[in-house]
Amino acid sequence: MKNFKPVYRYPLKKSDGWKNLATKEDKRDKIDQWAEFFKAKTWEDMKMLAEKNESIGRAVSGVWQLTEEEKIRQRCRAREEWIINDNYKTRKLKEQEEELKQKDVALEQKDAEIEEKDAAISDQKVIIEQLQAEIEHLKNMM
């Protein structure tokens, strides 16, 4: 293992021409199967390779588990984001409800002030009418 130097014999092409480049030694060591595994594009391709080679089967299982774990992580993240968004919406709704309550209280206070001013205006109208009547009475007396 000390003198191990990887030899890259397989071109990274879309064609399967690289299969013809595998030496007898590569085939004996099943390196060609591993190359197929790494070039596989579908789960079906991986399953077929797993049937031929037990260690590739374990690798396929590992890849499948990692993929499933990632899906679970994505679902968990999506759920966490939903909870965060829901909490934000709930908090925002409560804030808006509180703001509306405060505005309702302010409106009620304004309505009460308006009623007081309306009452004051009515009282002043009565006083004005009384004063006008007194002025008329005094004009008639002269």
30 lies in some domain:
no
* CB 40, CB 63: distance < 8 Å: no
Q: Which of 44, 26, 46, 27 minimizes the C-alpha distance to 36?
A: 46
25 lies in some domain:
no
73 lies in some domain:
yes
Q: Could you read off the pLDDT tens digit of each residue along the chain, which spans 142 residues?
A: 445 444 444 444 444 555 567 778 877 877 888 888 888 888 888 888 888 888 888 988 888 888 888 888 888 889 999 999 999 999 999 999 999 999 999 999 999 999 999 999 999 999 999 999 999 998 888 7
Domain count, the chain: 1
User: Which domain range does residue 86 map to?
Assistant: 40-141
31 lies in some domain:
no
pLDDT digit string (tens) for 34-60?
A: 888 888 888 888 888 888 888 888 988
77 lies in some domain:
yes
72 lies in some domain:
yes
